[in-house]
Amino acid sequence: MKPTLRVGIIGGGLMGREAASAFARWFVLNNFPVQVELVAVCDLQPTLLDWFRQIPTVKLLTPDHHQLLASPEVDVVYVAVPHNLHEAIYLDVLAAGKDLLAEKPFGIDLAAARRIRDAAAKSGRFVRCSSEFPFLPGVQRVIEWAQSGAMGKPLEVRSCFWHSSDLDPTKPANWKRQVRTCGAIGVMGDLGMHVVHVPFRLGWFPSRVYAQLQKIYHERPDGKGGTAPCDTWDNAMLHTEVNIQGIETPMRLEMKRLAPGATNSWSIEILGTDGGMRYSTAEPKTLWKFDRSKEQWWSRTDLGFQTPFPTITGGIFEPGFPDCFLQMWAAFAAERAGALGNRFGCVTPDEAVRSHELFEASLASHAQRTAVIPG
């Protein structure tokens, strides 16, 4: 009999429901050592709680997260609420003796991230932070290649996450557009963990950052006939330096809510003197590889479904967001059970704190128009 991971969700909005759907499809995983069961959900909105009634394993629906945390049926809590609530709820989860998959960012700012990391270490609970794109087959190939040394001498790295729906000025404001609820780091808090996860795991931590931050729309419709102020950063370009094989290498990190034409495009490009790789979720099956001998060429591989955790899905089928999100949860469950092996794991609390050190340094860099050392 496999052990069962009994999950409670706090925040049943966009991501809470995405998590529920990942658990409902858990049987896609082949010979996975852990079962999963969604047992409790907390949200303030009754209509959202109603949505979860269609899941037979859910026994507790509540607007009070303390009630969810008091349940002995819950082992692990996934928290997907606005950023201003992260710290208080994450600390409540740890105080209740539960393990945690935290949504990013890891608290609203650096001070909060450090407090959460310290509380996690003190509690001894298993804590990770969400970032799913590295679990796509194309990204796994880029990571393996980067670790193989095939790039030769490193030339440059670019890691990006681009959205475009905010280009529409009639899109109503929500909590992600305001510093009070999203955080002063703005788009870096929304999209930043996604762009640093792979470089950080490869050991590429910026020693210096020069940041260009942009606020384009200062107000939006509030959805009730009026307007609401929008004071978060829309776009962030971080020009950083990282040490790869002892060589100071430029790494650009791009987080954009205003990227013309990009719906939810995560991409990475790594270039060296002997080889390069490029992958974007805009073309989820396509892996670009650069090689040179007498001539130089970029070759295109049509990828299949080679996920880190094997599934029953046909090996030639194409992967998408729900697949990498499920794979991320599998990595969380496997690592918690001591069965991750040498596979890629979820963001650790230390990595999450380092992301905040970078974003805080980026705020200072932009304000001072100078390069800043994170940390």
Ligand X SMILES: NC(=O)c1ccc[n+]([C@@H]2O[C@H](COP(=O)([O-])OP(=O)(O)OC[C@H]3O[C@@H](n4cnc5c(N)ncnc54)[C@H](O)[C@@H]3O)[C@@H](O)[C@H]2O)c1
The residues of the shown chain that bind ligand X, judged by CB under 6 A, are: 10-15, 42-45, 48, 65, 80-83, 85, 103-104, 130, 132, 190
The least CB distance from residue 338 to ligand X, in Å, is: 25
Containing H/E element for 192?
helix 187-201
The least CB distance from residue 139 to ligand X, in Å, is: 14
The least CB distance from residue 285 to ligand X, in Å, is: 20
Closer residue to ligand X, CB minimum distance, 23 or 290: 23
Closer residue to ligand X, CB minimum distance, 20 or 372: 20
Rounded to the nearest 5 percent, the helix, strand and coil shares of the chain are 35, 25, 40
Closer residue to ligand X, CB minimum distance, 14 or 312: 14
How far, in Å, are 34, 156, 296 from residue 82 at the CA level?
30, 34, 48
The least CB distance from residue 208 to ligand X, in Å, is: 27
Among 238, 243, 236, CA closest to 216: 236
Closer residue to ligand X, CB minimum distance, 45 or 147: 45
Q: How far apart are CA 62 and CA 84, in angstroms?
A: 20
Closer residue to ligand X, CB minimum distance, 106 or 305: 106
Closer residue to ligand X, CB minimum distance, 130 or 249: 130
Closer residue to ligand X, CB minimum distance, 40 or 372: 40
Q: How far apart are CA 63 and CA 175, in angstroms?
A: 19
Tokens of 164: 């475009």
CA–chain centroid gap for 331, Å, is: 13
The least CB distance from residue 125 to ligand X, in Å, is: 19
State the burial class of residue 285 (Cβ atoms within 10 Å of its Cβ: 0-12, 13-18, 19+): middle
- Beta-bridge mates of residue 340: none
Closer residue to ligand X, CB minimum distance, 80 or 255: 80
Tokens of 70: 């008091």
The least CB distance from residue 256 to ligand X, in Å, is: 15
Among 80, 132, 137, CA closest to 324: 132
Closer residue to ligand X, CB minimum distance, 18 or 241: 18
The least CB distance from residue 44 to ligand X, in Å, is: 4
By the 8 A CB rule, do 185 and 363 touch?
A: yes
> Any idea what the Cα angle at residue 68 is, between residues 322 and 12, rounded to 5°?
30
Q: How far apart are CA 207 and CA 248, in angstroms?
A: 9
The least CB distance from residue 304 to ligand X, in Å, is: 23
**Strand 275-280 and strand 265-272: pairing?**
antiparallel
Residue nearest to ligand X (CB): 13
How far, in Å, are 133, 220, 318, 358 from residue 353 at the CA level?
19, 32, 34, 9
The least CB distance from residue 80 to ligand X, in Å, is: 4
Please give the sequence-ordered ranges of beta strands (E in DSSP) within the chain, or none if there are none. Answer: 4-10, 35-42, 60-62, 76-79, 99-102, 127-129, 154-162, 208-214, 219-221, 227-229, 235-244, 247-256, 265-272, 275-280, 286-292, 296-302
